[in-house]
């Protein structure tokens, strides 16, 4: 479904980005949240399907996988699927994880960790992924509400100390506003910001511009509108038809076109959807296309 010939590494067809300045990744990545379960209340998914998706992602050149220890349902744990599917990990694979939310008894995120609890959460990720250090760890701030309104310095400083110890290579922040990003940067370098963003949910455009100005990766979560703010796909249909693409591919291509620091991580538990999403990296939208997509 792409409009250009596939390369041997289709996920890199929209270029690469050096996370933290030294970890080059294909700009089209993968989010692991949908491997244990497709929806927030849905049934657990077959772990063998998740393993197939992860292996296919790497075959397609995806080398930026976003995960978290709290991506789990029942016995199916995203981090463990990543380890089962991909370890020993191929050279150049970057696994990003996030800490901050604590888990309630049923595994769902519940409340926020104190600075002192973050080490244990980092160690959970190290153990589940079977690694001696983590490539990129985000401090995930807040609950389901928009970013802002709380201080993060103490928690970010706790992660910076773990970075100094060698347990973490790069730090990121997730679900933050500009003030919180500045607060974190005053403590340690911030390699990536991960906030909700899609073609029609662009409230963080100024934060994206700030990331572009400073060479910081901007990793949009819910890039396909998988959260509470779905995409009005009717606005994408004409462009999709013109490119022989799907509306999901157009949504991802628009993000890739928005900024060279934009690294989408669409989530799926389906090999067919994964292949389609990776195909978006080869689609080149025109400025007229892009202007027609906004909500």
Ligand X SMILES: NC(=O)c1ccc[n+]([C@@H]2O[C@H](COP(=O)([O-])OP(=O)(O)OC[C@H]3O[C@@H](n4cnc5c(N)ncnc54)[C@H](OP(=O)(O)O)[C@@H]3O)[C@@H](O)[C@H]2O)c1
- Positions in the binding site for ligand X (CB under 6 A): 31-34, 38, 66, 98, 140, 174-175, 194, 221-226, 248, 265-270, 273, 276-277
Pick between residue 67 and residue 287 the one whose CB is nearest to ligand X: 67
End-to-end C-alpha distance for the chain, whole angstroms = 24
Q: Are 61 and 31 in contact (CB under 8 A)?
A: no
CB of 120 to ligand X, least distance (A): 19
Of 275, 293, 283, 289, give the one whose Cα is nearest residue 55: 275
Residue 165 phi, psi (nearest 5)? -75, -15
CB of 38 to ligand X, least distance (A): 5
Q: Name the E strands within the chain.
A: 16-19, 23-26, 30-31, 64-66, 72-73, 76-77, 94-99, 101-103, 109-112, 134-140, 168-174, 192-196, 217-221
For CA atoms 227, 273, 236, 279, give the dihedral sign. Answer: positive
Of 294, 235, 233, 282, give the one whose Cα is nearest residue 256: 282
Q: Are 124 and 98 in contact (CB under 8 A)?
A: no
The CA distance from 171 to 14, in Å, is 24
The single-letter DSSP state of residue 280 is G
CA-atom Rg of the chain in angstroms: 18
CB of 91 to ligand X, least distance (A): 22
The CA distance from 58 to 62, in Å, is 5
CB of 263 to ligand X, least distance (A): 11
CB of 34 to ligand X, least distance (A): 4
CB of 236 to ligand X, least distance (A): 12
Assess whether 89 carries a catalytic annotation. Answer: no
Determine how β-strand 64-66 pairs with β-strand 72-73. unpaired
Q: Which residues are catalytic?
A: 71
């Amino acid at each position: 479904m792409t409009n250009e010939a596939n390369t041997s590494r289709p996920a890199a067809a929209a270029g690469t980005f050096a996370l933290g300045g030294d970890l080059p990744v294909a700009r089209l990545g993968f989010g692991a949240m949908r491997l244990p379960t497709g929806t927030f209340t849905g049934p657990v998914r077959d772990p063998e399907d998740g393993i197939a998706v992860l292996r296919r992602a790497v075959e397609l050149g995806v080398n930026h996988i976003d995960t978290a220890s709290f991506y789990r349902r029942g016995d199916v744990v995203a981090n463990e699927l990543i380890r089962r599917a991909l370890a020993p990990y191929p050279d150049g694979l970057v696994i990003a994880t996030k800490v901050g939310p604590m888990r309630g008894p049923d595994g769902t995120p519940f409340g926020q960790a104190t600075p002192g609890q973050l080490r244990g959460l980092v160690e959970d990720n190290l153990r589940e992924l079977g690694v001696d250090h983590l490539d990129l760890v985000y401090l995930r701030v807040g609950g389901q509400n928009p970013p802002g309104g709380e201080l993060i310095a103490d928690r970010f400083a706790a992660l910076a100390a773990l970075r100094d110890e060698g347990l973490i290579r790069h730090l990121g922040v997730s679900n933050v506003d500009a003030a919180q990003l500045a607060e974190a940067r005053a403590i340690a370098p911030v390699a990536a910001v991960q906030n909700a963003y899609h073609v029609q949910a662009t409230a963080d455009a100024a934060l994206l511009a700030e990331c572009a100005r400073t060479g910081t990766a901007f990793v949009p979560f819910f890039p396909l509108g998988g959260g509470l703010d779905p995409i009005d796909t009717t606005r994408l249909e004409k462009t999709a038809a013109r490119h022989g693409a799907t509306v999901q591919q157009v949504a991802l291509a628009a993000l890739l076109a928005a900024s060279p620091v934009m690294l989408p991580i669409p989530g799926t538990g389906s090999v067919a959807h994964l292949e389609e999403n990776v195909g978006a990296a080869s689609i080149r939208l025109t400025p007229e296309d892009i202007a027609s997509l906004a909500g």
